Chain A
């Protein structure tokens, strides 16, 4: 019963420190206090984690129906009641808090000046308010051995106050349960017990969660103090989530990356990829000044000279045949960069501009726009999802986090790929098929679905099913998607890399349509959707007008005389690294815009212009849900490097192209936004846009893969700490037991692999997660650069 007749039934009124608040029934005292700016000290409580009430710091005095509780109660787990009176500053509450603080400090080192957490330590902060002036504890403090948790998280476990936030994070959010509370009593230690380290793709969040200096950022450690750094808001540059982050910098040098809270996007978490890749900004191979080939040598140039040279070369090719120029641009380039490059190319008369570096099959030129087809936050409320060729956990870590929440709440999260993946929760169904058979599997799901919804025979489907009947697994997938109130059907990175990807995308669209589900298509990169909006795709301009340019795939298959390459390394970043490189090497003119210079570039490029890396450039990323997120640059790029948008602008001027007089990126942004807003909802190709003939497959031993989590782009590949994790390093070609046996390969054998070109020697793994006749070998790992398409025939020799 509500005391107040005006008050809705689900609301109650409570009094905290004399002030009345209305709050929802079931809320805890600390939630109401936090929402209203009432300060209650705490260590173990975190709004995103379960509350164990173990630190006892948030004890408050409570009175209910005029009766005082016999003991102070923890605000973090005590549910509010109508008419409850809470005192956070009563003598008993404050004394309880002070007592707990004294206990916490007796075994905690009091050497804040040498602690990396100093200045941003929750214990230090609260000790100022609740601690005693003098320690009454004169015994020796507990000393706890440190554990090597890997290259990302540093430990100083003597500082641990056993709040267990890190343990709960890895249990509840990361789903990896890598840390535990070991031993008991005063000897309780947080650790892995066996020294395995922590490997979650979200592991760095334990640093932010740790209220003391027990878990700190390993690469950042002792490089700066919290109070000397400036915080610079920006957006994660690696995946389609666009996690909100802050760069902490000292005089323009990034010292570390931390999350910014945005409930709609990344909540309060970030992936390790976004946290640690900043190290790549300071890689040794940063290009400091423009360079150009002079015979066998490379010459440094000033910018004017370099740009004039580039303009001259481009003009020359364009004058003969503009379609001989192709531009490949990173899907993690900013919207402004992509748009200006698009305008440069169209200005030169070429439509051959493309961000889809990893899309092997572009027969569905008019394919659906990349994106999730629904808000990111809403994915945690789906009832069912089908993930096609997507190891979401690595491709889009925080999308996986949302889907995991849905899955743990009972949603049917299902997947189809050429292997089972290492998920951090249990999927309802994980279908595995040979790459040649993926289309057939999807078609069978679609056929089962059509039957289930009474749609009858779907035209064109027979070409994929070959008349086969859906199995029980196909029917289960179909029914769960149809029965779901909200569902997502999504294709991922492995579909982009698939040589019959157009068929797979069309079938995925069909399934989404039949199920009435949201339809998503996500590849790699922070701004693939942006590339589409910016017209950095060959079949549409930024104003939505149709075009007939050539895709990356087509300009690899049918090489051009001149290439413009923006912020990528084709041997790693294209679906077929070997072929991409061959095309560049054979070209007359290759102009590279890159923060880095590599040996490979020196071989194929003619001019290399240094552009700003992540953090050094202002711009915009459009995430998977279509959210435009704009950020500024931290400082000047290293050396003579310039933000790419500025370089393109000058180039536009030198090429005498119209409307290239931008003074700042926001002018570019505004112009593009105007174009975008005028277009209305772009149409998705869907099933009608399917290829005329189904792709038939290779029918042989086939390489399949995706892009390794820390191999997605040049920046992260230079993230030194990330590259030392087990997710990076040398590639391990993986075979099913049956296929391994056929080929006479054992787990751990060194084998030699080739895809028609030079061979590489790698150590094999055998894993029953794989489909037969498939060699799982992702891109972006050491040892794979010389190989051919990520999806394509492969030869194996025992060595």
Chain B
């Protein structure tokens, strides 16, 4: 564990306070950026050089995304922080909001300035309305009191205001345009793209959406430099990242580790597979990413490119570890239920397809399925992916396709014998 970036304050008893954040160099980056102030393009170049990639799931280059904003054009622009953390298996942003909220506040101000945005909204999922919301609200209050928010920050002539908002229970609001719709007080229906948020964000004005962890990483990049950040990880995979290790491990937890660390090592940090059982499967980046067999995972490194090569993805960094007692058909059923329940219902393939997939899997799980059903499931997943308005289509299809790719025989066993081939754990 390194805890140099997002988890820098974790060593303190009250890691969320401004004082403790100061002790870890908090707001130094902001002061440096605002001294002058620094050229916006330079900041963006620094972020690009650090190869900071989106921590929410897509892993897109943050600097490049910022570059899409018409940063010097007149008119209101917005920075949106996506704290709608809801990718199953992921619980890092909730920790970040509770334990190091000032990293996010400082990151918001710097990021906002870099893109010419003077207003930032931090959208938290509704379930975070108590502790995470209260901590980040308090941090905003402290920052405002310290003169880091508002007009003419630290006499720099730069204005920035940050507001926290809460949602009300809808996974789809984690999709960036669904989130923008939700901020506008609507159902969280993802938009067709183009136009992209940097052209048409909220209220018809440009906006950029970044994940909480991404933004919270920005102050460290600016304080310690792009080179330092890049060196923490691997080329094109700069920095450290938070990984949430849950499921069948002895010591589940959220760990800040350098990108590129072998999975084997991360599993060790989490105490290894529970009760010394055999590792069967791992979902490496939240349920939208296809599960991989344990043996394959043990050879992989935790960075964006390595996992993409293995036909899965780093996603949000939510690792779900499964031991040999796990029934992969049941896992598939549970995941499909989630996507079925969370489809926004706007476009046909997802609205109709997620329910269909779920029902077919259920039929197989109940021992009433046929070989045709397995093929049908595969076909339905293929019919959804690539045909929807947003990436939810893929998110619902990939896990099914992934499990079928590696554990088809478990489905076939259900068809043949009407029950699971996995013996229940003792």
- Chain A residues within an 8 Å CB radius of B70: none
Inter-chain pairs besides A162-B345, A185-B351, A186-B354, 15 sampled, C-beta below 8 Å: A54-B346, A59-B387, A71-B387, A72-B387, A77-B192, A100-B348, A100-B349, A100-B387, A103-B349, A104-B352, A162-B346, A181-B345, A185-B355, A186-B355, A187-B345
Contact of A72 (CB < 8 Å), options: B170, B348, B379, B386: B386
B386, A103: Cβ atoms under 8 Å? no
Q: Which of B340, B356, B379 has the largest number of chain A CB atoms within 10 A?
A: B356
Contact of B347 (CB < 8 Å), options: A55, A107, A184, A187: A55
A188, B356: Cβ atoms under 8 Å? no
- For chain A, residues 12 to 50, give those with C-beta under 8 angstroms from any C-beta of chain B: none
Which residue on B lies nearest to A187, using beta carbons? B345
- Chain B residues within an 8 Å CB radius of A188: 345-346, 351
B340, A186: Cβ atoms under 8 Å? yes
C-alpha gap A106/B354 in the complex (Å): 12
A292 within 8 A of B: no
Given the known interface contacts A185-B345, A185-B351, A188-B351, the answer about A102 and B170 at a Cβ–Cβ threshold of 8 Å is no
What's the least CB distance linking B186 to chain A, in Å? Answer: 11
- Chain A residues within an 8 Å CB radius of B349: 56, 99-100, 103
A185, B354: Cβ atoms under 8 Å? yes
The interface bits of chain A over 176-205 (1 if a CB of B lies within 8 angstroms of the residue's CB, else 0) are 000001011111100000000000000000
B146 within 8 A of A: no
B187, A161: Cβ atoms under 8 Å? no
A103, B352: Cβ atoms under 8 Å? yes
Those 4 A-B pairs whose CB atoms lie nearest each other, nearest first: A188-B345, A103-B352, A99-B383, A185-B343
A139, B359: Cβ atoms under 8 Å? yes
- For chain A, residues 252 to 299, give those with C-beta under 8 angstroms from any C-beta of chain B: none
C-alpha gap A186/B345 in the complex (Å): 6
Which residue on A lies nearest to B356, using beta carbons? A106
A136 within 8 A of B: yes
Which residue on B lies nearest to A161, using beta carbons? B348
The interface bits of chain B over 303-347 (1 if a CB of A lies within 8 angstroms of the residue's CB, else 0) are 000000000000000000000000000000000000011111111
- For chain A, residues 97 to 112, give those with C-beta under 8 angstroms from any C-beta of chain B: 99-100, 102-104, 106-107
C-alpha gap A188/B187 in the complex (Å): 12
A-B contacts, 27 of them at CB < 8 A, read: A52-B192, A53-B192, A53-B347, A53-B389, A54-B348, A55-B347, A56-B387, A56-B388, A71-B387, A74-B192, A96-B387, A102-B383, A103-B348, A103-B351, A103-B356, A104-B352, A107-B352, A136-B376, A137-B356, A139-B356, A139-B359, A161-B348, A162-B348, A181-B187, A183-B345, A186-B345, A186-B354
B101 within 8 A of A: no
Which residue on A lies nearest to B379, using beta carbons? A136
- For chain B, residues 380 to 397, give those with C-beta under 8 angstroms from any C-beta of chain A: 383, 386-389
A716 within 8 A of B: no
A186, B376: Cβ atoms under 8 Å? no
C-alpha gap A356/B354 in the complex (Å): 63
Given the known interface contacts A56-B388, A71-B386, A137-B356, the answer about A186 and B351 at a Cβ–Cβ threshold of 8 Å is yes
B132 within 8 A of A: no
A574 within 8 A of B: no
Interface size class of A (residues with CB under 8 A): 20 to 34
A186, B343: Cβ atoms under 8 Å? yes
- For chain A, residues 42 to 89, give those with C-beta under 8 angstroms from any C-beta of chain B: 52-57, 59, 71-72, 74, 77
C-alpha gap A100/B351 in the complex (Å): 11
What's the least CB distance linking B181 to chain A, in Å? Answer: 12
What's the least CB distance linking B147 to chain A, in Å? Answer: 41
C-alpha gap A237/B341 in the complex (Å): 50
- Chain B residues within an 8 Å CB radius of A54: 346-348, 389
B167 within 8 A of A: no
Which residue on A lies nearest to B358, using beta carbons? A186
B201 within 8 A of A: no
- Chain A residues within an 8 Å CB radius of B388: 56
B54 within 8 A of A: no
C-alpha gap A522/B192 in the complex (Å): 44
Which residue on B lies nearest to A95, using beta carbons? B383
B112 within 8 A of A: no
Which residue on A lies nearest to B362, using beta carbons? A139
Instruction: Report the tally of A-B residue pairs with Cβ distances under 8 A.
Output: 84
Q: List B residues at the A interface (Cβ < 8 Å).
A: 170, 187, 192, 340-349, 351-356, 359, 376, 379, 383, 386-389
C-alpha gap A184/B345 in the complex (Å): 5
What's the least CB distance linking A272 to chain B, in Å? Answer: 29
Given the known interface contacts A72-B386, A99-B383, A136-B376, the answer about A56 and B348 at a Cβ–Cβ threshold of 8 Å is yes
- Chain A residues within an 8 Å CB radius of B386: 71-72, 96
C-alpha gap A188/B351 in the complex (Å): 9
A184, B348: Cβ atoms under 8 Å? no
Q: Which of B340, B342, B345, B356 has the largest number of chain A CB atoms within 10 A?
A: B345
- Chain A residues within an 8 Å CB radius of B387: 56, 59, 71-72, 96, 99-100
Contact of A56 (CB < 8 Å), options: B342, B347, B376, B379: B347
A103, B389: Cβ atoms under 8 Å? no
C-alpha gap A74/B344 in the complex (Å): 19
- Chain A residues within an 8 Å CB radius of B355: 185-186
Which residue on A lies nearest to B383, using beta carbons? A99
- Chain B residues within an 8 Å CB radius of A139: 356, 359
A57, B348: Cβ atoms under 8 Å? yes
C-alpha gap A168/B7 in the complex (Å): 47
- Chain A residues within an 8 Å CB radius of B389: 53-54, 56
- Chain A residues within an 8 Å CB radius of B348: 54-57, 100, 103-104, 161-162
C-alpha gap A223/B55 in the complex (Å): 60
A185, B340: Cβ atoms under 8 Å? yes
C-alpha gap A57/B348 in the complex (Å): 9
- Chain B residues within an 8 Å CB radius of A161: 348
C-alpha gap A161/B192 in the complex (Å): 19
Which residue on B lies nearest to A55, using beta carbons? B348
C-alpha gap A56/B349 in the complex (Å): 8
- Chain A residues within an 8 Å CB radius of B383: 99, 102-103
- Chain B residues within an 8 Å CB radius of A183: 345
C-alpha gap A187/B349 in the complex (Å): 14
Which residue on A lies nearest to B388, using beta carbons? A56
- Chain B residues within an 8 Å CB radius of A181: 187, 345
A184, B352: Cβ atoms under 8 Å? no
What's the least CB distance linking A402 to chain B, in Å? Answer: 25
Contact of B341 (CB < 8 Å), options: A53, A71, A137, A185: A185
- Chain B residues within an 8 Å CB radius of A185: 340-345, 351, 354-355
- Chain A residues within an 8 Å CB radius of B351: 103, 162, 185-186, 188
What's the least CB distance linking A91 to chain B, in Å? Answer: 14
Which residue on B lies nearest to A182, using beta carbons? B187
B353, A103: Cβ atoms under 8 Å? yes
- Chain A residues within an 8 Å CB radius of B342: 185
What's the least CB distance linking B347 to chain A, in Å? Answer: 5
What's the least CB distance linking B389 to chain A, in Å? Answer: 7
C-alpha gap A136/B356 in the complex (Å): 10
What's the least CB distance linking A168 to chain B, in Å? Answer: 13
C-alpha gap A31/B186 in the complex (Å): 29
What's the least CB distance linking B39 to chain A, in Å? Answer: 33
Q: Which of A104, A162, A181, A186 has the largest number of chain B CB atoms within 10 A?
A: A186
- Chain B residues within an 8 Å CB radius of A53: 192, 347, 389
- Chain A residues within an 8 Å CB radius of B352: 103-104, 106-107, 186
Q: Which of A53, A102, A183 has the largest number of chain B CB atoms within 10 A?
A: A102
A184, B356: Cβ atoms under 8 Å? no
- Chain B residues within an 8 Å CB radius of A106: 352, 356
C-alpha gap A136/B374 in the complex (Å): 12
C-alpha gap A185/B354 in the complex (Å): 9
- Chain B residues within an 8 Å CB radius of A102: 383
- Chain B residues within an 8 Å CB radius of A137: 356
Q: Which of B348, B359, B388 has the largest number of chain A CB atoms within 10 A?
A: B348
C-alpha gap A136/B373 in the complex (Å): 9
Which residue on B lies nearest to A74, using beta carbons? B192
C-alpha gap A74/B356 in the complex (Å): 23
C-alpha gap A107/B356 in the complex (Å): 10
Which residue on B lies nearest to A77, using beta carbons? B192
